[in-house]
Amino acid sequence: MVAENRKARFDYHLLETFEAGLVLVGTEVKAIREAVVNLRDSYVRIEGGEAFLFKLHIGQYSHGGSSVHDPGRTRKLLLNKRELRKLIGKTAEKGLTIVPTRMYLKGGRVKVAIALAKGKKAHDKRETVKKREADRETRAAVKERVR
């Protein structure tokens, strides 16, 4: 795994995930292999029947030389036509959004896991924090008891 969007799990209820390819230039692929990627504020929007990834920051490749790329440019996602139609229908009718959750390499190609998501309310976020703290305390208690 190259990058993960941990904030997406905190801010959204993730309903369904999809795997998508990315249209990239050479220095972007090399920079991704160096893990100079930030998924935090990125999102997916569907325009003209195609999916695009906005605000994905891919830093400059360290040995790029004169060939550089724009770190914040919009990138096209490569999805199956059936998956794309499903995403268009779900986001239009239910008011759901599409967020990237992680980026990884698979068979030498860069893939992005995107998720159909519904925004959490403030009280849901507080519940998530409480549950995380309770899990942490139980793990610590079990670890202490084993010793």
Domains and CATH numbers, the chain: 3-119 (2.40.280.10)
pLDDT at 99 over 90: yes
Q: Which residues contact 91 (CB under 8 A, 6 or more apart)?
A: 46, 97, 98, 116
pTM of this prediction exceeds 0.85: no
Beta strands 97-106 and 3-4 are antiparallel
pLDDT at 65 over 80: no
Selection from 137, 111, 136 nearest residue 21 by Cα: 111
Confidence of residue 1 (pLDDT cuts 50, 70, 90): confident
pLDDT at 77 over 90: yes
User: Model confidence over 6-64: pLDDT tens digits?
Assistant: 888 888 889 999 999 999 988 888 888 888 899 988 999 999 999 999 999 988 888 87
